[in-house]
Structure 1
């Protein structure tokens, strides 16, 4: 199993090497100096391929599920190009976000802006990572019927994510704690716009467009497969982030691979918002006084309130309810799939594969 996962990652990474070199060749052809080319090369290698690659690999996995067979070499390559475009988008967001948040590390290494000589040049580096997406789409999909849909999907998703980032930045700045700005509805909006669209809907919608799944269905004219996919994947993304928030509070460093920092960083997480909705006036006063403080004792007092109002119990109930609700949405897709005869059909398995990966995860 581990070997199969490693081989899958290696094959996907081989495509990155190809598309990275294509982008660098394009930049080189603009007659830029060697030091600028080397800088961009280093930025691509440092910021794009080092994560879990779940978003990018999800494009390839979804195409394979939709087609119901092993992919040809060309189909795999094009699916992987789309997957790497998602990873480039992720890199663009992370390089920018780390600078805005004054973060220290990312993926077990210093954030890009903190590497020697980079600092605010990282703003332009982030722009270049984003621009590489559109060069690759033009190079590999310009002649495809789905080209405009792919372009519009990336542009729309980018705008949605930036809206989510804006809401997050003005709701929970690290240097100014105001829990009156927090609410479960505000948290939901931030999660949907900042995470769910690009992490869950984007990879599947890209796969659907690549497989030429239309927006209309000949026998079910009122059903848009893309709206149906969004109605499943956005709640799935919301569930994933709430799970992440809970693990940041409850998980050990050995379990989740990091030290949870949401409390000291003043994050507008599901955990604090749930506690606020349940806290007595005395407990609320403790949260107001201690949340978002860079102080282990303050963090401890906040956690004591979280346990006192039974945040874990509320989370476990939420998880079971979310799992049932999302499964119900998935079951709204006909067993035989959604699509016309002779065409690629939207399958339940696209969504169950996501849900099964994250249900009751511990890291």
Structure 2
């Protein structure tokens, strides 16, 4: 894995070791290698401006290379393959890998907003930078420095994403068509993130429908739907993909993306931190208006509702709160919602005019992306 080669302590200036040459059919390996090849000179260029910028560049690099499912480039790849069939993947790799840089931007900023200490079992960017501040003996508030630096780390990843996308080896018309989809994806992700933080301040006026709207924009759009359409745009050139392909990918993407977020909601309450890499129960303690917790509140008895409220006040433990959520029937309801959406996604592909290999791969991805433990 790429993150096995990362520095192990703040400020370590060792370069990332080259990865073993990936097999031409190993999409994840090819994405990882593309990212390493791109990021290594970018970090060096920052250090040449000023040695102190090495910490910024390496922290950003580590956020990108610290594992993850690489779902966005995988969905984009199959969106492209659905239109193009078995074409060589190499020309698309910069565009596919750019989606991981965009994802890193979103995660770093999300961790700042959520004040998260860990991500994928590792310290978040703002914690890494705060620790570097302390280790260097600098003056001022290390937490403020870490937060400010992490905002810049996220911004840097976003700029890097644009730069890598521009290096895609496809006709200009294809890149411009994909860029339009990419820009819409960014707008929708930001809109969804704003609604997400707004919901935390207005939970009493939130609804299941609105929580699903957040899921569609914060998660479904930039995790599944837009990457699929991005890949199809790369394949379709100036004319874009056929309307039937766009319709099928949109329906599939919305369904799988919502199911993906619903699974995240379940993992936040019932997941094993050793597998998810994040503490369990944050949503329970903050009363975040997720679909799961809104349904739990609707289905709960008066006693269960009171116990959930005491949990937000810090007088009931996370494990007990998770038991209460299950007892309301909300956990089972959300599991059924996931199953229904996966079935709808697979049905959407049934008559779509796409390559059969892509149809099979996307049907498999619909299950694997939503039936997971991390």
TM range (shorter): 0.7 to 0.9
TM-fit CA distance, 1:149: 1.9
The worse-fitting range, judged by mean Cα deviation, of 250-259 and 197-206 is: 250-259
Find the counterpart in structure 2 of residue 196 from structure 1: 220
TM-fit CA distance, 1:247: 3.0
**Residue of structure 2 aligned with 1:41, choices 54, 57, 68:** 57
SS of structure 1 residue aligned to 2:280: coil
Aligned residues: 335
Find the counterpart in structure 1 of residue 84 from structure 2: 67
Find the counterpart in structure 1 of residue 246 from structure 2: 226
Find the counterpart in structure 2 of residue 165 from structure 1: 193
SS of structure 2 residue aligned to 1:51: coil
Q: Tell me, yes or no, if structure 1 residue 211 matches structure 2 residue 262.
A: no
SS of structure 1 residue aligned to 2:236: coil
Find the counterpart in structure 2 of residue 240 from structure 1: 260
TM-fit CA distance, 1:161: 0.8
**Residue of structure 2 aligned with 1:356, choices 356, 367, 374:** 367
CA distance in 2, matches of 1:212, 1:345: 17
CA 1:347 to 1:6, structure 2 compared with 1: closer, same or farther past 3 Å? Answer: closer
The worse-fitting range, judged by mean Cα deviation, of 55-64 and 228-237 is: 55-64
TM-fit CA distance, 1:144: 2.0
TM-fit CA distance, 1:132: 1.4
CA 1:231 to 1:6, structure 2 compared with 1: closer, same or farther past 3 Å? Answer: closer
- Give the alignment's TM-score, normalised by structure 1: 0.80
TM-fit CA distance, 1:158: 1.1
Find the counterpart in structure 2 of residue 80 from structure 1: 93
SS of structure 2 residue aligned to 1:228: helix
CA distance in 2, matches of 1:282, 1:308: 12
Find the counterpart in structure 2 of residue 283 from structure 1: 304
Find the counterpart in structure 2 of residue 341 from structure 1: none
**Residue of structure 2 aligned with 1:102, choices 108, 115, 121:** 115
**Residue of structure 1 aligned with 2:312, choices 264, 284, 292:** 292
Greater share of helix: 2
CA 1:320 to 1:135, structure 2 compared with 1: closer, same or farther past 3 Å? Answer: closer
SS of structure 2 residue aligned to 1:286: helix
Structure 2 residue runs without a partner (length 5+): 1-21, 134-144
Q: Let me know the Cα RMSD of the aligned residues.
A: 3.2
TM-fit CA distance, 1:45: 1.9
The C-alpha deviation readout for 1:29-88, integer Å capped at 9, x for no partner, is xx962325524431332111113222233333543454332x53xx32x32211221111
SS of structure 1 residue aligned to 2:194: helix
**Residue of structure 1 aligned with 2:209, choices 156, 172, 185:** 185
SS of structure 1 residue aligned to 2:173: coil
